[in-house]
Amino acid sequence: MDIDKNGLKRNNVMYRVEVNYGNIGTVIQTPFGLNPTRVRIANNPAEWRFLSMLVDLSLSNGMSLFKVCNAAVAHNLQIGEFLPGIWEVLFERARPEKIPLRRTECAFFFTNIEDALKFKATYPGMEQGILCDVEIIKEEFSLMADMNWLDAIDENTATAQDAIDAFTHYWAGEKTDNPTMEVLFVGKYKLIPMK
């Protein structure tokens, strides 16, 4: 079995849970933004600077991200819909220079069907998704990472440093005791619905 430099098994199928039914059966080219709110924040310098200030506040005083964000909202700062973007700021702080793209510019695949089904069952909005085989047409970049590093972050108590530490493990490809491996992928692919 061929294994590339990123650890992907080339002769094995990968899986994706797709909620945009128009993507099924068509050739898709990344990079693209999977989450419009997060992509908008990443591409908006003012919002990025504001969220970076919240991250810096958490880093400097050890306050949880939840409390920092709530304090900002309590002071009538209108950031409610932008709060998911704070995770992108933290991902970027932890992303090594050798990784050329943000997570928002990648497609996400699973290396086994069990992890894809678990994702479908446990992530909000994914229960209506269609489980698909992924046909790789052209790979430009891929990285295998254990998404359990992300899931282990308690959004109510985690500080910015806690999140950066977890994201550093994620980007390094380190595995937890019971890993759920996802593939961040850039390139061209096609989704084939499973029967």
DSSP-assigned letters across all residues of 31-88: ---S-HHHHHHHT-HHHHHHHHHHHHHHHHH--BHHHHHHHHHHTT---GGGTTHHHH
**Which tens digits make up the pLDDT trace of 129-170?**
999 999 999 998 899 999 999 889 988 899 999 999 999 999
Quick one: pLDDT at residue 41?
Answer: 55
User: Does any domain span residue 188?
Assistant: yes
Q: Is 5 helix (H, G, I), strand (E, B) or coil?
A: coil
Average confidence score pLDDT of the chain: 83
User: Does any domain span residue 1?
Assistant: no
Q: What are phi and psi of 62, to 5 degrees?
A: 75, 10
User: Does any domain span residue 7?
Assistant: no
Distance CA 114, CA 166 (A): 23
User: Does any domain span residue 63?
Assistant: yes
Q: Of 173, 186, 183, nearest to 139 (Cα)?
A: 186
According to DSSP, the β-strands at 14-18 and 181-193 are: unpaired
When divided into structural domains, the chain yields a total of 1
User: Does any domain span residue 184?
Assistant: yes
Quick one: pLDDT at residue 100?
Answer: 79
Q: Is 102 helix (H, G, I), strand (E, B) or coil?
A: coil
22-36, 46-60, 177-191: the lowest-pLDDT one: 22-36
CB 116 within 8 A of CB 194: no
User: Does any domain span residue 161?
Assistant: yes
User: Does any domain span residue 183?
Assistant: yes
Q: Of 185, 192, 119, 189, nearest to 150 (Cα)?
A: 119
Provide the residue range defining the domain that includes 161: 14-193
Distance CA 183, CA 69 (A): 30
More confident residue, 9 or 191: 191
**Count of residues making up the chain:** 195
pTM of the model as a whole: 0.79
- Torsion, Cα 168 84 182 148, to 10 degrees, reads 60
Residue in the structure block whose two tokens are 């084939």: 192
User: Does any domain span residue 6?
Assistant: no
Distances (CA, A) of 149 to 19, 25, 37, 164, 176: 24, 32, 22, 10, 7
**Which tens digits make up the pLDDT trace of 30-85?**
876 444 444 555 567 777 788 888 899 999 999 998 888 877 776 655 555 555 67
